[in-house]
Amino acid sequence: MSSAVLSLKNIKKAYVMGETEFWALKGVSFDIHEGEMVALMGPSGSGKSTLMNIIGILDNPTEGDYILRGENVSDLDEFDRAEIRNAYIGFVFQAFHLLPRLNLLENVEVPLTYAGYAPWVRRERAMDMLNRVGLADKWRNLPSQISGGQKQRVAVARALAMNPALLLADEPTGNLDTQTGNEIMGLFHSLNDEGVTVLIVTHEAEIAQQTKRSIRLRDGLLESDRGHEQQRPILHEAVFGGAP
Ligand SMILES: Nc1ncnc2c1ncn2[C@@H]1O[C@H](COP(=O)(O)OP(=O)(O)O)[C@@H](O)[C@H]1O
Ligand SMILES: [Mg+2]
């Protein structure tokens, strides 16, 4: 049995709006093990993004414990939380979240800059990642000069820059056409084949069927957590060649 990368123990989250509070998560518990690729599903408003933000240490649970690689994240101060987030977690968002004034290379460098790497190390590492997603030749471009699919590939390159143990993606194909979405999924599959643990939010059954395990939320609670019998379709082979 492989070890748990992360463990959620009765995670609850309340959003307070004026005098009312809304419990977006009402007690969610599960483990994710090293090397797993998991789809997180559920209707709109079921708490998927809220949970992803907690797992990505972008937000705190109101109650419950979040254990990441054996450490209780809730016990750490903001500095340590930021450091762990940067070192262990890559996050890909539906809306890409690239910085518009930075070129593609500089966008991929952001987490490396934050971690304090020397400029030449950042350049080399970021260029490797751009190469990995097939965009090395466009490194000087601004985000506004490339397509949505390419933006998401840059966002994946940025998420990979620190070689994270855990890759989180919140509806990464939500703004993409089917073909481009499949290419991004192919990239996630090949990363998972290399040992990266991947958690993807999707409401597309087709995408969830490509993962061995899918977890479903409903109204802030875990509705189901199951492994798939069928193998994923073979659409991920060498989508991005990335010559060295
Ligand atoms: N910042 C916020 N303030 C208040 N309510 C929020 C906030 N973020 C999310 N919610 C509410 O929490 C619930 C879960 O939202 P979310 O986690 O975004 O769901 P999903 O990603 O599954 O669509 C929704 O009812 C949403 O309106
Ligand atoms: Mg969401």
**Nearest CA residue ID for atom 24, ligand 1:** 45
Residue 116 one-letter amino acid: G
**Predicted structure pTM score:** 0.90
Ligand 1 neighbours, Cβ below 6 Å, are 15, 17, 22, 24, 42, 44-50
Q: Which of 67, 92, 49 is nearest to 185 (CA)?
A: 92
Instruction: Work out the percent of the chain whose per-residue pLDDT is above 90.
Output: 77
CB 35 within 8 A of CB 66: no
Kindly give the distance from the C-alpha atom of residue 118 to the centroid of ligand 2, in angstroms, as a whole number. Answer: 36
N residues, the chain: 244
**Nearest CA residue ID for atom 26, ligand 1:** 45
Q: What is residue 151's predicted lDDT score, i.e. its pLDDT?
A: 95
Residue 18 neighbours by CB distance under 10 Å: 5
Q: What is the CATH number of domain 36-62+77-227?
A: 3.40.50.300
Q: Residue ranges per domain, the chain?
A: 36-62+77-227
30-44, 90-104, 125-139, 223-237: least confident range: 223-237
Task: Check the CA dihedral 209-210-212-216 and report its sign.
Answer: negative
137: buried, middle or exposed (CB in 10 Å: 19+, 13-18, 0-12)?
exposed
Kindly give the distance from the C-alpha atom of residue 53 to the centroid of ligand 1, in angstroms, as a whole number. Answer: 11
Who surrounds ion ligand 2 at CB < 5 A?
Answer: 48-49
pLDDT tens, residue by residue, 102-114: 999 999 999 999 9
> Torsion-angle region of residue 195: left (phi > 0), alpha (psi -120 to 50) or beta?
left
Q: What is residue 2's predicted lDDT score, i.e. its pLDDT?
A: 57
Ligand 1 atom nearest to 220, measured from its CA: 14
The average confidence (pLDDT) of the chain is 90
